[in-house]
Amino acid sequence: MGITELTPEQARERQRHGALLIDIREAHERVSGQAEGALGIARAELEAAPERHLPSPDAEVLLICQAGKRSREAGAALRAAGYRNVHSVAGGTTRWIEAGLPVVRPRLDPDEADFLERYSRHLRLPEVGVAGQRRLQQARVLLVGAGGLGSPAAYYLAAAGVGHLRIVDDDHVDRSNLQRQILHTEDAVGTPKVESAAARLRALNPRVRIEPVAARVVSDNVEALLEGMDVGVDGSDNFPLRYLLNDACVKLGKPLVYGAVQRFEGQVSVFDAGRRRGQAPCYRCLFPEPPPPEFAPNCAEAGVLGVLPGIIGLLQATEAVKLLLGIGTPLTGRLLQFDALGMRFRETRPAADPGCPVWAAGRPFPGYIDYARFCSAGG
């Protein structure tokens, strides 16, 4: 026998005469409002132990969800378990509200209410859910660079709820930055980039701890900056810093999300050789030697399409979130290249170099080198 569907108005009338109305959505869905008088019991909990929540198999029970599908399915499950007087509210809470019927917000601790409402779209993803969002809340990410790549990466990592974001940059905001470095605005020109970034990100999500570090990343401080961090995100714009970050992350066993842009092209990858020695490549496997300076001009010299760092920085943020949640297939061992003019992506698979000087099996870490000299000499 199928489940009878009632209109919200019919359900409200039966509720007045003693029927039990149960909202079977998850807590984070109910935080924005639920039918007045409804009990909030998640579907899985209700189906697992209906006897704990329903007075008797003959009691009239009305189930409501967001749009009606889940309540029909839950009703069928309860019918199969012997509950004979179960109905579903057609159109769910959406139609209940459209009908102008009374809605209430559950009484929650303000911090819990903020968490559930702010991250509601994440919480609806089975791959994230409450447990995954709590994992993001406990996560710590080092972002090197608050410029073109760091701007979109920082925005979306903060919006996603990464609990601690340490941003390192020793530069000041220049008007020429504003064409692509969207963390900064006209009134920030002349101020340290990390201070400008911290102000914007705290305004976006006050739940996230933003730690601005106005410093140049060098061999003497790179390990301290990575201490306690779960993932490193490379938003730098020069070869010496890329090699340094790579070597430090290999030594400390930290995954590094790499990105680079120039003119109309960009690339992104994940280097995780520190945790997967002998299996995953590192930055040195991809670039054993830096190109001569004349073949690798920076953005100030060669120019860059303003939207390009946004695309690559968003991909970096995506990879970082995936790594923190342990979901999907990261770009480990894969280099994703993007051509903005042709609007094309191309993927290559750089091999792990068994002779790599920093992660080869059985080879001790050689120590940090003079990266500026190494790069200026072209290897």
Q: Where are the alpha helices (DSSP H) in 170-266?
A: 193-204, 222-226, 239-252
Q: What is the DSSP letter of 254?
A: -
Measured CA to CA, the distance from residue 186 to residue 174 in angstroms comes to: 9
- The b-or-e profile of 167-185 (16+ CB within 10 A means b, else e) is bbbebbbeeebbebbbbbe
Tokens 């051509």 found at: 339
249 is a catalytic site residue: no
* From 249, 299, 356, 375, the catalytic residue: 299
Q: Where are the beta strands (DSSP E) in the chain?
A: 4-6, 20-23, 34-35, 39-40, 61-64, 86-89, 103-104, 140-144, 164-168, 209-213, 231-234, 256-262, 265-271, 335-339, 344-348
Q: Where are the alpha helices (DSSP H) in 205-298?
A: 222-226, 239-252, 283-286
Q: End-to-end CA distance of the chain: give it in Å, rounded.
A: 76
Q: What positions carry a catalytic annotation?
A: 299
